[in-house]
Amino acid sequence: MSETGTGHLTELLYDDGENDASLVCAGHAGDVEPGTGELALELAARVPSATCWAALGYDDEREPFDVWHPPSTAIDPDDYPLLGEIADRGFETVVSLHGLADDEVVVGGATDDETKDRVATMLADALSVPVRSVSEGPYAGVHPENFANWLAAEGGGLQVEMGQTAREDESVAVCDVLATVLRD
């Protein structure tokens, strides 16, 4: 993906070159969905042998969200060379972190409903904002072309959409819960 102007997009890959157990992603990090990249890296650092991939978009003149936010189904390893390095690995567990305008947390992805419900319950117990799991709708993240899903060996990634409180004030609690999920 390339764009002209004052902005830039950069990738981050934290990887040992072999891990296929856990992947934490933030495909819309930087100023696009602030806090997601930092949370993804912190989470991956807490889990032994976890990999982290993030795409960080910045722009001083335009809205970074408008410039650097492709749909999750349009994120392709041909456009992201570091993602290409891990694209065929087939991770056992994939957690994709996203920002949300509403101050709540929505747990989706193509993983099974039991997993989404369990993660949503754990997050609800740890956070002060509403948390719900979804299997349909705009934040469900169930499409097979969603990068969180095709990166997962079984085609079922976990997508966590977070409002500002979860990404900022309560990010440690989010990280604690998701680290537990990745270790299980």
Q: Is residue 2 part of a domain?
A: no
Q: Is residue 36 part of a domain?
A: yes
Closest CA to 41 of 54, 27, 30, 31: 54
Residue labelled with tokens 């982290």: 52
The CA-CA-CA angle for residues 154, 160, 165, to 5°, reads: 165
CA contacts within 13 A on the Cβ side of 84:
6
Which CATH number fits the domain that encloses residue 132?
Answer: 3.40.630.100
The answer, as to whether pTM is greater than 0.85, is: yes
Q: Is pLDDT at 103 greater than 70 in this prediction?
A: yes
Alpha carbon separation from 146 to 76, 123, 151, 177 (Å, rounded): 9, 23, 9, 23
Q: Is pLDDT at 3 greater than 50 in this prediction?
A: no
Range of the domain at 174: 8-183
If you average pLDDT over residues 128-149, what whole number do you get?
A: 96
Q: Is residue 169 part of a domain?
A: yes
Q: Is residue 98 part of a domain?
A: yes
Residue range 141-156, pLDDT digits in tens: 999 999 999 999 999 9
- The count of domains in the chain is 1
Q: Is residue 1 part of a domain?
A: no
What's the pLDDT score for residue 184? 83
Residues 53-66: b if buried by 16+ CB within 10 A, e if exposed? bbbbbbbeeeebbe
Which are the contacts of 2, defined by CB distance < 8 A and separation ≥ 6?
Answer: none
Residue range 30-75, pLDDT digits in tens: 999 999 999 999 999 999 889 999 999 999 888 889 889 999 999 9
Q: Report whether 94 contacts 26 (CB < 8 A).
A: no
Q: Is residue 3 part of a domain?
A: no
Q: Report whether 24 contacts 56 (CB < 8 A).
A: no
Q: Is pLDDT at 164 greater than 80 in this prediction?
A: yes
Q: Mean pLDDT score of the chain, rounded to an integer? A: 94
Q: Is residue 35 part of a domain?
A: yes
Q: Is residue 139 part of a domain?
A: yes
CA contacts within 13 A on the Cβ side of 108:
22
H-type alpha helices, 30-170: 36-46, 64-68, 81-86, 113-126, 147-150, 164-167
